[in-house]
A and B are shown apart, each in its own frame.
Chain A
Amino acid sequence: MVTQIKTVKELPREELFAPGHRLCAGCGVPVLVRMVLKAIPNAVIVNATGCLEVATTIFPYTSWRVPWVHNAFENAAATAAGIEAAFRILEKKRGIKRPKVVAFGGDGGTFDIGIQALSGALERGHDMLYICYDNEAYMNTGIQRSGATPRGAATTTSPAGKVIPGKLERKKNLIEIAVAHGIKYAATLNPAYPVDMYNKIVKAASVEGPTLLHYFCPCPTGWRSDVDKSIEIARLAVLTRVWPLYENDNGVYRITVPVKTPRPVEEYLKMQGRFRHLLAPENKWLLDQLKQDIEENWNRLLKLVELSQKSS
C-alpha cells in the first residue's frame, strides 16, 4: 500500500537535491524536485533542456544525488523509454533492481516540442512518471509564449501591445491529453499544497506504467512577481480556480482541493506583471475571455468528475 501523509512533518528528511544550484529566487522548480526525490528516492531522472537542467548541472558540479540524464529538449519521454527498457533487460539478466524512471520537462518541452515523444511514450506504456513543471512560457530562453501560456498573458513573443494585448489563444489541457492515452494516473500539483503534492507523487510513482503530473511552477522572473510571493500566488491560483487541484485515478476524476466559492481572479492577476495590463478598461474584452476559459475549465472538470464517478 502506498504511504500517504497528513502533514508536512511526516515528509522524509533526506534531501537528494543539493543546494548551491542557480535557479532564481522564488522559482517553483526546486520545491517540486525536492518533493519528488523525497517521494521517489530510487529515481533515475531524465531532464529535458530547460531552466532545471541548465541551473543544476554546471560541469563539474551537480545538484543531483541520484542518476540524472539530459538528452536535449523534445525527447525526455523517449529517452526515459530507452532507460526503462535497458533496466528491464538488466533486471532480467543481472538481477539489478529496476529504479523508477522520472522525466522532468518544462511546459515548452512538454506542451509544444515534446508532445510527440510524450504521446508515443504514454501510448507504449513504459513504466515511467512524466512531470511537467509549467511556468506557462519558455522561461529559459527569456519568457516566450508557449502552448501552455494562458490567454491574455504577456510574454516577449506575445507582448501586451496596443493592438494585441498579450496572448490571444487559450492554454492546452495537458491532463486531458494524457488521460486520452488511457494512462492509469494523472494529476495536477501546486507548491502551496505540499501534502496533496507529495501524496500524488507517491501515488503516481506506485503505478506500474506511464503516469503524468502537471505542476504549477511559479516564475517570478517571467511573471514579473515578487520573489517572496510565489507560494501566495500559487495558493491564489487554486482558490480562484485558475489551477484546480485534481486527479484522474484509473479513469475516475476527483477534485482533491475543493474550492466552493472562488476568489476573484483579479486578486491572482494583479500580483503578476504579465497580467497587469488585463486590468486596464480597454483590455476588459480579453480579461473576460480569460475568465470564461477559467469557468469553462472548472465546469468541464465538474462534469468529468460526475460522469467518471457515475460510470466507475
Chain B
Amino acid sequence: MQKTVISGNEAVALGVKLAKVQVVAAYPITPQTIIVEKIAEYVESGELKARFINVESEHSAMAACIGAAAGGARVFTATSSQGLLYMSEMVFWAGGARLPVVMAVVNRAIAPPWSIWCDHNDALSQRDSGWVQLWVENVQEALDTVIQAYRIAEDERVMLPVMICLDGFLVSHSYEPIEVPSQQLVDSFLPEKTPAPYWIDVTNPRSYGTIASPETYMEFRYELQEAMEGAKRVVKEVDEDWGRLTGRSYGGLIDLYLCDDAEVVAVLIGSWAGDAKEAADIMRSRGVKAGVLRLRSTRPFPAEDLVEALKDVDAVAVVDRSLSPGLPSILLSEVKAALYEHGAKPYVKGFIAGLGGRDVTPQDFVNVFERTLKGFKKGETGKVEWVGLRGVGSGHR
C-alpha cells in the first residue's frame, strides 16, 4: 500500500486505471471533468491500455459505453447533473439491457437556477433506471468503490450497471490522504475482464435490444428486479472481500455510526455523513445517544438492513439533499416505506438541506438531532423542515 494525497476526482480516475478499464467514452462537465482528463492522460501515456472515445455528448457517451459493454469490454464514463439528465434515456437502456457499465456521477444541482454545486437530485432522478447506486463519503471510499463496482456489476448474479455517486466539490475537489492499493492486489480482487457471458459473438450471433410484446415485456422487468434483489448480497460480499484484502470496508449497504444504543439517528447519503458523525459525537458529549446511518446503497434499497438498525431507535431524522417537488423528499419516503413494510414504527422526521451547495455544518446536524428529539417527545407530526432557509418563513432556526 502506497500513501498519497489526491482529490476525489483523481481517486476515481486512479480506480479506473487500477480496474484496467478497456473503453472509456466521456464528455466534459463540471465538476466531473477532472476524472476524464486524468483518464485521458493515463491512456495517452500508455499507463492504461484502453480506447478513449471523445464523444460529442453525454447521450453518446452512454450509447458508446453500451455498445462497448455489449462488445465485451470493461467500460467507464463519468458525468454530472445536466449531463446525466441528457444521458438519461441511455442510462435506463444500460440498466434494462443488464450491461455492467460503471459510471461516476459527481453530484451537482439541477438547473434552473444554474448551479455547479453539490446536491443529490441528479443521481436520485435516475433511481428507477435499473442501476446499482452507491454513495461515497470521502476520497478513499471513492477509489475503493470504483474497484468494488466492477466486481458487483460483472457478477453473474447481478449483471447490472453501477453508479458511484460522489459529492461535487465536497469530495470531487477535496484533497485527502489515502492509501492506494497495489496493482497486484487489485488484480487478485478483480481479474481482467473477459467477454463472457453475454457479448457480441460473431461465431454465435444474437440479437440485442429486440422488441418485446405485452406477452414478454413483464418477464424482462421481473428479472431486472430479481437481479437488483440479488445485488444486495453481492454488494455486501464484495465490500467484505475488499475489507479482508485492504482492512477497509464500508458496511456493505449501510454504514452505521454509533447506532447500536442510539435513541436518535440521522439517515442520509453522501459526504456530509462526516458532519453528522461529528454532531453525533457532540450530542453524546451532552448525554444524548445520537447515531448516523449512512445509506451506501440507495438501489438496491437496503430496507431489511435499515429496519434492523432502526427498529429500537426512538426517533429518526431523514436528511435529504434533494427535492421531489410535491412529495417533497425522496429518502424520507423510502425510509418510511421500508419501516412501515417491516412493522417498525420509530418517530420519523424529514429535513431538506444543502440544496445547490448550501453549506451545512456539524452544528446544523446538532440542531437536526435536537429538533427531531423534541418532535418525538412532544408527539408532533414528522412534517418536513428546511434547514437554513432564508427570506421566507422557515420552520427551522
| Interface positions of A (Cβ within 8 A of B) | 42, 44, 46-47, 53-54, 57-60, 62, 64-72, 74-75, 77-90, 92-94, 96-97, 99, 116-117, 119-120, 123-124
Contact = CB atoms under 8 A, between A and B. Distances in A.
Given A89-B73, A117-B56, A117-B57, A70 B202 contact: no
A77 B53 CA distance: 12
B44 to A, nearest CB: 16
A54 B211 CA distance: 6
Contact of A86 (B72, B207, B210, B216): B72
Interface residues of B, number: 44
B213 A59 contact: yes
Give the interface centre of A65, A88, A90, A92 by most chain B CB atoms within 10 Å: A90
B259 interface: no
A82 B71 contact: yes
Nearest to A89: B22
A46 B89 contact: no
Interface in B213-268: 213, 216
Contact of A78 (B60, B71, B73): B60
Interface string B84-127: 00000110010001000000000000000000000000000000
A83 B200 contact: yes
A183 to B, nearest CB: 16
Given A59-B216, A67-B201, A90 B57 contact: no
A83 B68 contact: yes
Nearest to B200: A67
B56 A116 contact: yes
B91 to A, nearest CB: 11
B67 A46 contact: yes
Contacts of B65: 82
Contacts of A86: 22-23, 51, 67-73, 75, 200
11 contacts: A59-B213, A59-B216, A71-B66, A72-B63, A74-B59, A75-B59, A78-B60, A82-B23, A88-B51, A90-B71, A117-B60
Given A72-B63, A85-B25, A90-B73, 5 more contacts: A64-B207, A66-B202, A86-B73, A97-B202, A124-B54
B190 to A, nearest CB: 16
A68 B207 contact: yes
Give the interface centre of A67, A68, A86 by most chain B CB atoms within 10 Å: A86
B383 interface: no
A52 B49 CA distance: 37
B205 interface: yes
Contacts of B210: 57-59, 62, 70
Give the interface centre of A69, A80, A88, A93 by most chain B CB atoms within 10 Å: A69
A153 B66 CA distance: 37
A57 B206 CA distance: 11
B90 A80 contact: no
A60 B208 contact: no
Contacts of B71: 82-83, 85-87, 90
A117 B63 CA distance: 10
Given A57-B207, A67-B202, A75-B63, A89 B56 contact: no
B392 interface: no
Nearest to A43: B202
B276 interface: no
A92 B46 CA distance: 14
B180 interface: no
B73 A81 contact: no
Contacts of A68: 205-208
Nearest to B97: A71
Nearest to A57: B210
Contact of B211 (A44, A59, A69, A77): A59
Contacts of A46: 67
A81 B56 contact: no
Interface string B29-68: 0000000000000000000011101111101110111111
B125 to A, nearest CB: 19
A86 B68 CA distance: 5
B200 A81 contact: no
B99 to A, nearest CB: 10
Given A69-B70, A71-B93, A116-B57, A85 B205 contact: no
A85 B59 contact: no
A53 B73 CA distance: 25
Nearest to B50: A89
B209 interface: yes
Nearest to B21: A89
Contacts of A78: 25, 55, 59-61, 63-64, 67
3 A-B pairs with the lowest CB-CB distances in the bound complex, closest first: A82-B67, A86-B71, A120-B56
Contacts of A92: 49
Contact of B60 (A67, A93, A120): A120
B212 interface: yes
B72 to A, nearest CB: 6
B212 A90 contact: no
B60 to A, nearest CB: 4
B395 interface: no
A66 B201 CA distance: 9
Contacts of A77: 60
Nearest to B195: A90
A72 B90 CA distance: 8
B50 A75 contact: no
Contact of A119 (B23, B51, B56): B56
Contact of B55 (A71, A81, A83, A87): A81
Contacts of B67: 46, 69, 71, 78-86
Contacts of B208: 67-70
Contacts of B195: 90, 94, 96
A44 B53 contact: no
Contacts of B201: 67
Give the interface centre of A79, A84, A90, A117 by most chain B CB atoms within 10 Å: A79
Contact of B207 (A62, A79, A90): A62
A89 B23 contact: yes
Contacts of A59: 210-213, 216
A88 B209 CA distance: 23
